Amino acid sequence: MKPTDIAAPDYFHKVVDCQWACPAHTPVPEYIRLIAQGRYSDAYMINWKSNVFPGILGRTCDRPCEPACRRGRVEETPVAICRLKRVAADFKDDIKHRLPKPSAKNGKRVAFVGGGPASLTVARDLAPLGYHCTVFDGDPEAGGMMRTQIPKFRLPNSVIDEETGYILNLGVEFKGGHRIESMKALLAEKYDAIFVGSGAPRGRELDIPGRKEAAAHVHIGIDWLSSVSFGHTDKIGKRVIVLGGGNTAMDCCRTARRLGGEDVKVIVRSGFEEMKASPWEKEDAIHEDIPILNFLVPVAFIHDNGKLTGITFQKVKAEYDAKGRRNLVPSGEPDQTLECDDVLVAVGQENAFPWIEQDCGIEFDKWHMPKVDPKTFVSTNPKVFFGGDAAFGPKNIIWAVAQGHDAALSIHKMLSGEDITERPLPEVHVSSQKMGIHEWSYDNDISNDKRFKVPHRDKVIALKDIRTEVELGYDVKLALGEAHRCLNCDVQTVFSTSLCIECDACVDICPMDCITFTENGEETDLRHLLKAPSPHPDQDLYVSSDLKTGRVMVKDEDVCLHCGLCAERCPTGAWDMQKYLIEMTHAGSACPTKSRSAA
Amino acid sequence: MTYIAKPKFHHPGLKKNELGYTHRDYEGKISTLCAGCGHDSITASIIEACYELSIEPHRVAKISGIGCSSKTPDYFLGNSHGFNSVHGRMPSVLTGANLANRDLIYLGVSGDGDSASIGFGQFAHSIRRGVNMTYIVENNGVYGLTKGQFSATADRGSKSKKGVTNTDNAIDLVAIALQLGATFVARSFSGDKAQLVPLIAAAIGHKGASFIDVISPCIAFNNHAGSTKSFDYVREHNDAVNRLDVLVGRDPIAVDYAPGTVQVVEQHDGSKIALRKIDADYDPHDRLGAQTFLARHAAKGQIVTGLLYVDPDAEDLHSHLNTVEAPLNTLEADTLCPGSAALDKFNASLR
Ligand SMILES: Cc1cc2nc3c(=O)[nH]c(=O)nc-3n(C[C@H](O)[C@H](O)[C@H](O)COP(=O)(O)OP(=O)(O)OC[C@H]3O[C@@H](n4cnc5c(N)ncnc54)[C@H](O)[C@@H]3O)c2cc1C
Ligand SMILES: Cc1ncc(C[n+]2csc(CCOP(=O)(O)OP(=O)(O)O)c2C)c(N)n1
Ligand code: SF4
Ligand code: SF4
Ligand code: SF4
Ligand SMILES: [Mg+2]
C-alpha cells in the first residue's frame, strides 16, 4: 500500500466515526469534552454552528452517529451522543450574545417556501451575510414538522420557540399562515433566489375495502398528529389500531395513549425486526403498554353501517428468494379480525408539489420529484434550490439541516458570481495534545462504564398529559459519566516514520493490538498480516512509508481507543496525539483555501 | 512509565487459547521501565509464548534478581507465583524452589549484570546442575537500573553513552552455557519477536536447563553509535542460523516448507519444534560444532542467533539426584520426617 496521506482532510475525519456519520459533521468529541468540563454554553455553540437545533436534535435526532460510534465496536453500546447534545442545551447559560448579529442588508432577496429545519438552516447561514430572507409557511409558526408532527411529550414547544427564535431574530422575515399557491407567481416577485423547503406533506393512503364507509374513524397519521398539535383533536376511542411500523406510527400510538386510547396496538406487515422505527422508539412504545403485532396485512376495514368496528388482517410469513430478497407470502392461516374504535394510518409519507406549475423551468422526474443536484441542491431552474424532505423525499431533521447548509453555500456562491460546483474543502486544525511526558491536554484514561440510562418521568404521570415531556434528560453527574465514555476519536495518532527506531514499544503496549510492523503488501494482504483480525474493511489502515528495516508500520484504525499509550511509550516521539478539528465549509466561511469539484 | 492503567478493553476479535484466555490474560501490571526499553518486548514475548502454550498461570513460578530486567516479572503473568530475590541470587532461589516442587514451570528472569557480574557463579552452577528451568537473560550490556555502567557482557572496544571505551573482555553467556552443559541454548533479539516467541515456547517445553540470551537494547544508556547492543547494531550484525515453529497438541506439522529444510525435534512434553534452517551447515545437536561456530562468528563481529543447541533427551537435576516426585508440600509430616529410627538406619548405611 502507498503511505497514507494524512493531510487529506477526509482521512482523519473518517477516524472520527460519529462526526463522519453525522450528515452535518458535528464535531462530536469536541463538544462532549466541553460538557465534561462543564462548559455547556461552549458545547452548545459548537452544535449550534453545525446542526442549528441542538436542543431539538438532542431530543429527537435520528442519530446516525451512534451506530457509527467506535465505542459500539469496543463494547456493547455507543456513547449517548444525542442525549449529551441535550445536556449542552439544558445547562447552557444565556447564549444570545454569542449569536451572529443581524447585519446590514446586501440588497439581495431570498424567498423560502416552508419554514421547517431545511429553510431555517439556509436562512440562518444567509441572514448574517446580509441577505434579506423571507420565509413563507402555510402554518402560523416556524418549525415545520418539528412543530406540527413531533409530539410535545418528546419535544416541548419551548425548545422549538427558543431555537427557531434564534434564527428569526437574525432579521429573517417570517410570513406565517401564508401558503405559496403558485411558483410562477413567486418567481414573478423577482427574488434573487428561491429555496424550496416545503417538506413531504402528504400521508400515504390505504385503499382497502371499507375505507370510504368507515372514513369518520380512519385517520391519516400525519394529518391526525398535526391536528393534535394544533389542538383541533383532543380525544380518540378506547381501542385504537395503528397501521405502520415507522416512527410516525410510534408517535401516533403514543399520542393515542394520551388522548384516551386504553387498548392501543401497532400492527405491521413485516416482521418486528425489519420495522423502520428506531429501536428506542419501539422500546418507548412498548414501555407504554402498546403491543406491536407483526406479519399481519390489513385487507378490509370492517364497519357497521358506516361505524368502524375493526380491521381484518391476512396472516403472512417472510420468504426469501434466490437473491435473498424478502417476500411476504400468505401463511395459509385463517384471516384475523381485530376490533377497534379508531384507526391511525401511518404507512408512509409522500411529496406533493401541486403549487409548482409545469412551465417554471423546474423539471420533475418520472416519480414526480424535482430534478435536484445532490451536491449543490440546485434545480433545473438555476435560481431555485431544494432541500430537506422536499428534495429527496422524507428523511429527518439532521439531513434537512445538512442539505440546508449546502444549499446556502450554493446560493451564496451563485449570488457572489461564483461557480456553485466548486465546493471549498473543510478547514482542518491540527494541534499536538502533549503537555508533558505522560500528560495530555485531553483525558486519555478510558472509562469502563456502561451507557448511562436517561431518566424517564413516571409512566402514570407521563401518560396523563400530552404536553408532559417523558425524558427528563441527564443530570450533571450522569452527563459527566456518559461524557467520559467518549474515546476522543478526534485526538489522532500521528506517526512520524523518520523518528521511529522500530523498538516495538507501541506494539507491546497497545491494548487493542492496533499496530503491526510488517512487510508491505496490497491492502487485502496487509489486513491478513495484522496482529489482530480486521473485521471492518471500511475502517482504514494507516500505513507509513518504508522504515529503516524496509518494513512499514500499519495501524488498523478500527478499534483504537485513542488512549495515547503508544505515544507515551514511544521513546522518540514517533507517535504523537494530535487533535484534528474539522470545520465544514458553510456559506461565508472565512476565505477557504482549497476546494474540490462537486461533479 | 505511564500514569493511566492499561485499559481493560481488548480487541473484540482476539483469539482465545485452549483455556479460553486471550494473550491479554497473561499480562501483569503496567511496566514502569523506560519507554522503548527492549525488556518490555521480552515481556510481551513471554506473554505470547505462555498464551500460545495455553499455560495455566498458577503453574508458573517467575523468579528474578535485581535490575530493570529483574523487575519485568511484575509486568507479565500477573496470576503466577513470583520471587524477586537478591542481586544475582535468582539461580539459587530457583534451584531451591524447583527441588521443593518440580511440578511448576520455572522462569528465571535476569540481566547481564545480575547473571554475568554479581551472579556469575550462581548462573554457572544452576546451568551445570541441569535445573529444569527456562533461564532468560535480558542482555543490554549495561547496568540499566544503576544508570548505565558497563556490565560484564559489554564488548571490548564498545563505547559508553559518554564516549568511554570498554577495555575489559566480554563474557559470552551463550558460550559459557554451552560449555557448562546446558541442554537448550539459544540467542535472540528483543526486536525480533518472530524468532524470540517460539524460542521461549520451546525452552519452556524443554526438560533440563534451557538458557536464552536475549539482546535487549537499553534505550536510556546503551542505544547510541559505538554500542554493540543498540537496535541498529544488532540489526546490522544479526546472523540467524535458523527459525522455528513450536507445534503443540494435535496440530499437524505445517508442510509448506521446501523439503530438506525442516528438521523436527520432539520434546519431552510431546511438543515438537520445527526448525527451519537458514544456515545449511548449522547442526543444533552438535555442542562442539556450536561452540566453534559461535567463536568463529564472534570473531567476525557477528551476533549468532537462533536455537544453537538442543538435546531433546536431556535429564534434569531431579533425575540425577533421584529425588521424590511429589512436591514436598504434598507430603505428610511423617514422610518428610520419618523419625530417629529411620535416621539411625540411614547413618548406619554410611558407616
Ligand atoms: C410524525 C413524525 C415524526 C417525526 N419525528 C422525527 C424525529 O423524531 N426526528 C427527526 O429527525 N425527524 C422526524 N421526523 C421527520 C422530520 O420532521 C422531517 O424530516 C423534517 O422536518 C423535514 O424538514 P423540512 O424542512 O424539509 O420540511 P418540514 O419540516 O416538513 O417543513 C415544511 C414546511 O413547509 C410548509 N409548506 C409546505 N408547502 C408549503 C407551501 N406551498 N407554502 C408555504 N408553506 C408550505 C409546511 O407547512 C411545513 O411547515 C418526523 C416526521 C413525522 C411525520
Ligand atoms: C548486592 C547488590 N549490589 C549492587 C546492587 C546495585 N545494582 C542494582 S541493579 C544493578 C545492575 C543490574 O544490571 P542488570 O542485571 O544488567 O540489569 P538491567 O538493569 O541492565 O536490566 C546493580 C549493580 C544491588 N542492588 N545489590
Ligand atoms: S467514542 Fe466519542 S469520538 Fe468516538 S465515535 Fe463515539 S462519540 Fe465519537
Ligand atoms: S491510542 Fe495508541 S495505544 Fe491506544 S489504542 Fe490507539 S493505537 Fe493503541
Ligand atoms: S534504564 Fe535501560 S534497561 Fe532500564 S528501563 Fe530504562 S531502557 Fe530499560
Ligand atoms: Mg543489563
Domains of chain B: 23-348 (3.40.50.970)
Domain CATH code at residue A365: 3.50.50.60
Q: Do residues A141 and A190 both lie within one domain?
A: yes
What's the rounded Cα separation, in Å, for the pair B252 and B200?
A: 20
Q: Which of A77, A442, A508, A516 should we substitute to test contact with B (largest number of B Cβ atoms within 10 Å)?
A: A508
Say if residue A140 is exposed, middle or buried (CB neighbours under 10 Å; 0-12, 13-18, 19+).
Answer: exposed
Q: Do residues A244 and A177 both lie within one domain?
A: no
Nearest-neighbour CA in chain B from A557: distance (Å): 12
Mean of the per-residue pLDDT values of chain B: 93
Q: Would residue A483 count as lying in a domain?
A: no
∠ CA A261-A264-A267, nearest 5°, is 150
Nearest-neighbour CA in chain B from A436: distance (Å): 11
The pLDDT confidence band at residue B270, using thresholds 50, 70 and 90, is confident
Nearest-neighbour CA in chain A from B257: distance (Å): 19
Using the predicted structure, report yes or no on whether residue A404 has a pLDDT greater than 90: yes
Q: Do residues A371 and A299 both lie within one domain?
A: no
Q: Do residues A313 and A262 both lie within one domain?
A: yes
Q: Do residues A229 and A339 both lie within one domain?
A: yes
Q: Cell digits for A133?
A: 430572507
Q: Would residue A132 count as lying in a domain?
A: yes
Q: Which of A75, A502, A503, A548 should we substitute to test contact with B (largest number of B Cβ atoms within 10 Å)?
A: A503
* CA atoms within a 13 Å half-sphere pointing along the CA-CB vector of A311: 29
Could you say which residues from 524 to 543 on chain A have a Cβ atom under 8 Å away from some Cβ of chain B? 532-535
Model pLDDT for residues A175-221, shown as the tens digit of each residue: 999 999 999 999 999 999 999 999 999 999 999 999 999 999 999 99
Q: In A, which residues are within 8 Å of B217 by CB distance?
A: 503
| Residue A517 Cα distances to A513, A533, A557, B75, angstroms | 11, 15, 15, 23
In this structure, which amino acid lies at residue B329? Answer: N
The pLDDT confidence band at residue A597, using thresholds 50, 70 and 90, is low
A424, A452, A477: which is the final residue of a domain?
A: A424
| Residue B314 Cα distances to A565, B120, B196, B290, angstroms | 43, 23, 22, 17
Residue A125, H or E segment: helix A117-126
Question: How many H helices and E strands in chain A?
Answer: 22, 26
Q: Do residues A223 and A185 both lie within one domain?
A: no
Q: Would residue A148 count as lying in a domain?
A: yes
Model pLDDT for residues B291-303, shown as the tens digit of each residue: 999 999 999 999 9
Using the predicted structure, report yes or no on whether residue A234 has a pLDDT greater than 50: yes
Residues whose beta carbons lie less than 5 angstroms from ion ligand 6: B 111-113, 140, 144
Q: Do residues A316 and A405 both lie within one domain?
A: no
Which ranges of chain B would DSSP assign to H, the alpha helix? Answer: 38-52, 68-71, 90-100, 112, 120-128, 173-179, 193-205, 231-237, 287-299, 317-321, 333-336, 340-350
| Residue that has been written with the C-alpha cell 431555485 in this structure | A384
Residue A29 in contact with ligand 3 by CB distance below 6 A: yes
* CA atoms within a 13 Å half-sphere pointing along the CA-CB vector of A122: 37
pLDDT at A595: 62
Percentage with pLDDT > 90 across chain A: 94
Q: Would residue A109 count as lying in a domain?
A: yes
Q: Cell digits for B49?
A: 509464548
Residues contacting residue A127 through CB under 8 Å, at least 6 positions apart:
A100, A102, A103, A133, A167, A170, A171, A172
Using the predicted structure, report yes or no on whether residue B253 has a pLDDT greater than 50: no
Burial code (b: 16+ CB inside 10 Å, e: under 16) for A257-285 equals bbbebebbbbbbbbeeeebebbeebbebb
- Residue A271 domain boundaries: 204-346
Q: Would residue A141 count as lying in a domain?
A: yes
Percentage with pLDDT > 70 across chain B: 96
Q: Do residues A386 and A264 both lie within one domain?
A: no
Residue A23 in contact with ligand 3 by CB distance below 6 A: no
A227 with A236: CB under 8 angstroms?
A: no
pLDDT at A588: 84
∠ CA B341-B343-B348, nearest 5°, is 95
Residue B3 near chain A (CB below 8 Å): yes
Model pLDDT for residues A546-592, shown as the tens digit of each residue: 999 999 999 999 999 999 999 999 999 999 999 999 989 999 875 54
Q: Is A291 left (phi over 0), alpha (psi -120 to 50) or beta?
A: beta
Mutate to test the pocket of ligand 2, among B75, B87, B150 (most ligand atoms within 8 A of CB): B87
Model pLDDT for residues A524-545, shown as the tens digit of each residue: 999 999 999 999 999 999 999 9
Q: Are B11 and A509 an interchain contact pair (Cβ–Cβ within 8 Å)?
A: no
Could you say which residues from 66 to 105 on chain A have a Cβ atom under 8 Å away from some Cβ of chain B? 73-75
What's the rounded Cα separation, in Å, for the pair A570 and B37?
A: 10
Q: Do residues A362 and A299 both lie within one domain?
A: no
Q: Would residue A249 count as lying in a domain?
A: yes
The pLDDT confidence band at residue B255, using thresholds 50, 70 and 90, is very low
Residue B4 near chain A (CB below 8 Å): yes
Q: Which of B4, B23, B215 should we substitute to test contact with A (largest number of A Cβ atoms within 10 Å)?
A: B4
What's the rounded Cα separation, in Å, for the pair A436 and B3?
A: 11
More confident residue, A440 or B259: A440
Q: Would residue A320 count as lying in a domain?
A: yes
- Look at A156-160, A345-349, B274-278 and tell me which has the smallest mean pLDDT: B274-278
Nearest ligand 1 atom, CA A59: 8
pLDDT at B157: 96
Name the residue in chain A with its Cα closest to that of B2. A438
A385, A406, A424: which is the final residue of a domain?
A: A424
Nearest-neighbour CA in chain B from A11: distance (Å): 22
Could you say which residues from 538 to 597 on chain A have a Cβ atom under 8 Å away from some Cβ of chain B? 548-549, 559, 561, 563, 565, 568-572
| CA nearest to B156, candidates B141, B145, B143, B144 | B141
Q: Are B6 and A565 an interchain contact pair (Cβ–Cβ within 8 Å)?
A: yes
Q: Do residues A211 and A341 both lie within one domain?
A: yes
Name the residue in chain B with its Cα closest to that of A556. B11
A328, A346, A364: which is the final residue of a domain?
A: A346
Q: Span B170-192, mean pLDDT?
A: 97
Q: Cell digits for B288?
A: 562442539
* CA atoms within a 13 Å half-sphere pointing along the CA-CB vector of A490: 25
Mutate to test the pocket of ligand 4, among A539, A561, A570 (most ligand atoms within 8 A of CB): A561
Q: Is A486 left (phi over 0), alpha (psi -120 to 50) or beta?
A: beta
B63 with B109: CB under 8 angstroms?
A: yes
The pLDDT confidence band at residue B250, using thresholds 50, 70 and 90, is low
Q: Do residues A363 and A342 both lie within one domain?
A: no
pTM for the structure as a whole? 0.93
Residue A464 near chain B (CB below 8 Å): no
Q: A476-484 vs A28-36: helix axis angle to the nearest 10?
A: 130
Residues contacting residue A218 through CB under 8 Å, at least 6 positions apart:
A206, A211, A301, A308, A342, A343, A345
Number of domains in chain A: 2
Q: Would residue A217 count as lying in a domain?
A: yes
Model pLDDT for residues B1-49, shown as the tens digit of each residue: 467 889 999 999 999 999 999 999 999 999 999 999 999 999 999 999 9
- Which residues sit opposite B76 in a β-bridge? B27
Could you say which residues from 494 to 523 on chain A have a Cβ atom under 8 Å away from some Cβ of chain B? 501-505, 507-509, 511-514
Q: Do residues A232 and A360 both lie within one domain?
A: no
